[in-house]
Every structure is written in C-alpha cells, then in structure tokens.
Amino acid sequence: MTLRHWIDLPPLWLIAALAIAKYQSTYASLGLGFGPVWADLAGGLLVGGGVLLMALAVYEMRRQQTPILPHQNAIHLVQSGIFSRSRNPIYLGDVMVLAGFILAWDAVLSLPMIPLFLWVLERRFVIPEEDRLRRKFRADFARYCEKTRRWI
C-alpha cells in the first residue's frame, strides 16, 4: 500500500472536517446556534449511532476475514449483519458522527460540510470500492445492490 493510500483514509477526512467545524464553532459562530438542549441530544444520538454503525461493520468485516481499509481488495462480499441494511455502514457512520458534532458544537455555518463530506466519501471511496466489488463478484454484487441500498 502506497503512502498516498495510507494518508487518503476516511477517518483522516473525518478528522479534517471535524477540525474545520470545531474551528468555525469556536472562532466564527456569528452568534448562531441550534438551541441548548435538543441539539446536544440529537448530536449525541448521531455520534453514538455513527460509532455503533462503524463498530458493527468492523465486527462483521473481521468475522468475514476481509480487509477494512478502503483501497484494498475484498476477499469476501460481506452481505450479512449491518451490511444487509446498508452497503456502506462505515461511511454512513462517518457522516452521522460529523453531523452529530456539528449539532453538538452549534457549528451552524458548518452544516454545508455534511453533503460536501458525503460527496467526497462517495467519489474517493464508495464508487471505486463498488467498482472493484462489481468486477470481482459480478452477479453476486449485482444481486446485493438490488436488495441493499448504498446508504440507507
């Protein structure tokens, strides 16, 4: 695996987005906020749910003995566990964590970063991964796509 592949990992993109949102909430909030209670609750639920999705996906991938890193070729097409609900639960969890922290930090001006982050994940990771799976698993992957949505 090249250095570029080690640097170009979804958690690093998530950390960068979180850093931008935290900076915005701390130094450029412009007095905007979501509200004292509901945003903290919703933010906590999103962060917790996102971490849970990621943990369930990692567990299932480990159980199936297939690589977790996005630039590696899958050994097995994982369709069980959380992957029976979403083809990309780790990336969905990343988006939920970002949205949760944006809510919890009252980073109102960072809200547009959520669809931008989703777009980056899809272009840099999801589409190339699905192309590799499509080439390797052909009919099995086509059937999986028919019964399981990309996100939710």
Instruction: State the total domains in the chain.
Output: 1
Distance (Å, rounded) from C-alpha 142 to C-alpha 113? Answer: 31
- Nearest Cα to Cα of residue 43 among 97, 114, 104: 104
| Mean pLDDT, residues 14-43 | 93
| Mean pLDDT, residues 69-78 | 93
Task: Specify if 85 maps to a domain.
Answer: yes
Tens digit of each residue's pLDDT (9 = 90 or more) over 86-98 = 999 999 999 999 9
Task: Note the pLDDT of residue 36.
Answer: 76
Task: Specify if 73 maps to a domain.
Answer: yes
Task: Note the pLDDT of residue 135.
Answer: 97
Domain hosting 57: range is 34-147
Helix (H, G, I), strand (E, B) or coil at 145: helix
Mean pLDDT of the chain: 94
Task: Specify if 93 maps to a domain.
Answer: yes
Two structure tokens written together for 88: 């990309």
Q: How far apart are the first and last CA of the chain?
A: 30
Task: Specify if 67 maps to a domain.
Answer: yes
- 85 and 152 Cβ atoms separated by less than 8 Å: yes
Token look-up 């199936």 returns 64
Q: Which residues, other chains included, contact 55 with Cβ-Cβ below 8 Å and sequence gap of 6+?
A: none
Task: Specify if 20 maps to a domain.
Answer: no
Task: Specify if 21 maps to a domain.
Answer: no
Asked if pLDDT for residue 1 goes beyond 80, the answer is no
Task: Specify if 25 maps to a domain.
Answer: no
- Nearest Cα to Cα of residue 111 among 123, 119, 99, 121: 99
Task: Specify if 40 maps to a domain.
Answer: yes
Backbone conformation region of residue 132, classed left if phi is above 0, alpha if psi is from -120 to 50, else beta: alpha
Radius of gyration of the chain (CA): 17
Could you tell me what percent of the chain has a pLDDT over 90?
Answer: 87
- 126 and 80 Cβ atoms separated by less than 8 Å: no
Asked if pLDDT for residue 128 goes beyond 80, the answer is yes
